[in-house]
Amino acid sequence: MYYQYILNIIHDFNIISVVLRIVLAASCGAVLGIERAKSHQAAGMRTYMVVCLGSAIVMLTSHYMYLQFNTGDPARLGAQVISGIGFLGAGSIILEGKTRIRGLTTAAGLWTSACIGLALGIGFYSGGILATAAVYIITSKLKPVAKHFKTDEIDFAIYIQMESSEGFSDVFLFIKEYGGAVEKVEMNKSHKDGTCSGMIYIHLPVSDNPDSFLEMLRIQPQVIAVKEISYM
């Protein structure tokens, strides 16, 4: 009897359930954010807390409007959160040295954190808490498993300027001797000063350091300049 009374309180729309949903949303966001902060990501504990809490407030507001005015769709504002949180996730994605993309897991975590906040905001406590536990396990405990399935190559592109077009053959030989492979070459027209430039798309074993590779490439004969362009 008492247990049923508690369940009714926390699932009804009242001050106790509102406080509980807000506290749970902030707590779940903090759990996920702490893990990201330990990984030195830009979006840490406070960001996750605010995202999760804000999503919960959106659902609480939708629920309140539906009960207060007896009209509207309680899921409409929540749907806007799911689609709108993408701008924040995109801001957490960065190019690290222009050879690796960082922040994809953080962006996905922010989006999921918003979804967890929506679940808690509408009173789906078990779903929100279980989802928090699942995301925490995935992001913090499954890194070794993910690394096991990770590709053994780094793909990136460079812009290179040579003293002459004949120097490209030496560059290709150097890449091969380094353990890499040339995927594609895009040659530009020769410049007025006699130099030549082009784009080279390269595979490197993941065990190699791209920065060291580029430094060694810059000191090769006939190489004037090398610029890393983008992650493939």
What percent of the chain has a predicted confidence (pLDDT) above 90?
Answer: 6
Q: Which pLDDT tens digit goes with each residue over 84-127?
A: 777 666 666 655 444 455 667 778 888 888 899 999 888 888 88
Contact by Cβ (8 Å): 143, 35? no
Q: Are 180 and 205 in contact (CB under 8 A)?
A: yes
Going from the C-alpha of 136 to that of each of 20, 73, 107, 130, the distances in angstroms are 21, 32, 14, 10
CA 124 to chain centre: 26
Per-residue pLDDT at 159 exceeds 80: yes
pLDDT band at 230 (very low <50, low <70, confident <90, very high): very low
**Tell me: the pLDDT tens digits for 35-78?**
777 766 666 788 888 889 889 998 888 888 888 877 777 777 88
Q: How far is CA 75 from CA 51, 59, 62, 66, 71, in A?
A: 18, 8, 7, 10, 12
Pairing status of strand 153-162 against strand 100-102 = unpaired
> pTM (2 decimals)?
0.57
> What Å distances lie between residue 106 and 22, 71, 138, 149, 213, CA to CA?
22, 36, 12, 20, 29
The pLDDT mean for the chain works out to 78
pLDDT for position 116: 92
Half-sphere exposure in the Cβ direction for 72 (13 Å, CA)? 16
On the question of pLDDT at 218 being above 80, the answer is: yes
Q: What is the mean pLDDT of residues 170-199?
A: 82
Answer yes or no: is pLDDT of 209 > 80. Answer: no
Q: What is the pLDDT of residue 97?
A: 45
Contact 34, 139 (CB under 8 A): no
pLDDT of 8 strictly over 80: no
Residue 114 makes CB contacts below 8 A (sequence gap 6+) with 51, 52, 54, 55, 81, 82, 85
User: Which helix (H) or strand (E) is 108 found in, with range?
Assistant: helix 104-121
C-alpha of 94 from chain center: 8
Q: Rg for the chain (alpha carbons), in Å? A: 26
